[in-house]
Structure 1
Amino acid sequence: FAISVSSSSFYRYVLFTSFTLTTAITDWSSVLFSVIYTSFPTIVVGILDKDLSRTSLMEHPQLYGAGQRQESYNRKLFWVTMLDTLWQSIASFFVPLLAYWGSDVDGSSLGDLWTLAVVIMVNIHLAMDVIRWYWITHAAIWGSIIATFICVMIIDVLPFLPGYWAFFHIAKTALFWLCLLCIMIGALLPRFLVKVFVHYYKPTDIQIAREAEKFNTSRASQGAQIEMNEIFDPPRR
């Protein structure tokens, strides 16, 4: 997901600069983007996060029917995710472009802004999907954002690399931080609203059991059962 957003922004930059050979994002930032900025949080969440506990799954085997009904992954969800990715890349690219249109801010400064915006955006995007928070999850997600700021500043203080001192010139203005805020709101608000609507008005069995487990107010804890969809045998070939 993070690579898709950054790649879309890069291609739009190429189009708006008449296919110039220069890039707004430095080579070091491009390498660190996949190695440090976004990889560690994804690995930590992938290892530690889980929908439900073993006890809930054993008590309610109907929950396994979500996979048979393709609720977690299907063609519709795939295309919705692609549209969400496209929208986020548009927001991350055009907000700074319109904000600094006609100014004397160079490409390296905009590149730093795009790098920080995408890293913050994909980590908040990931945080919105986390079910179980641990201290290492907080450290990985929010620490990745802090590490990105530190790496961008270190890269920009090295005089032999392109974009020397670019971050410090653009970060001292209020417009820089306003752009970051507008990107986060514009890119993630549609996804947040959709998640709220789905969770509250069209919850799946897994979401219902998850809330029951989280707040310990399920009917199972009172000796009753949770009504769920039936388990259907998968079609045989």
Structure 2
Amino acid sequence: MKLSSELKALQDRLGHHFDAPELLVRAVTHSSMSSPTRQDNQRLEFLGDRVLGLVMAESLLSADKDAAEGLLAPRFNALVRKETCADVARQIDLGAALKLGRSEMLSGGRRKQALLGDAMEAVIAAVYLDAGFETAKDLIVRLWGKRIHQVEDDARDPKTSLQEWAQARRLAPPKYELVKRAGPDHAPIFTIKAVLDNGESEEATAGSKRQAEQAAAKALLSRLESA
């Protein structure tokens, strides 16, 4: 099978050239482009999620040989969640190679977190099927890079941590206010303010309300803890 220039470039960014290039084509094909003769990436996503999970579990055990399960679990969740997979997908510009139907294309599908995260997992599965577990493991460890060793900070959920900070000081739980929504419907940008009873607040902007809330909580907590 002859690959498009976008997929050839993606292979270079991945650092893996496929013996079975049809696997890569399938990995980047969204369900909006599926047909009786063209498979989408949903089954590969299912498999890739499991391969990623095993690699991350092994990596965390190796990185901290004394950590208890209670510490490992949130670190694991931070490394395999869709947001992280989407970040890695953006790092290799996976969105540029996605095969999307017209409606998804027009609604900004190449930038959507869910689509990018799913496609990243599908690509992992494609590499696994093409070259085996060790090659897929090497790919994951290389692409996730410093995230594996810096995951302790990422594993702390900012909203939960801010709520705990407030409760410890007998304050009500923080509130999250929508300050502004901008951008087109297919690619909205939200500005959220995290507010405490004592008047402390911080704002943050992101492509989803959840991300903006997390970012605002993180910014406020960081300032409060350094004061």
Bigger helix fraction: 1
> Of the two structures, which has the highest relative contact order with CA contacts closer than 8 Å and spacing of 6 or more?
1
Find the structure with the greater CA-based Rg. Answer: 1
Bigger strand fraction: 2
Scaled by the length of structure 1, what TM-score is found?
Answer: 0.26
Scaled by the length of structure 2, what TM-score is found?
Answer: 0.27
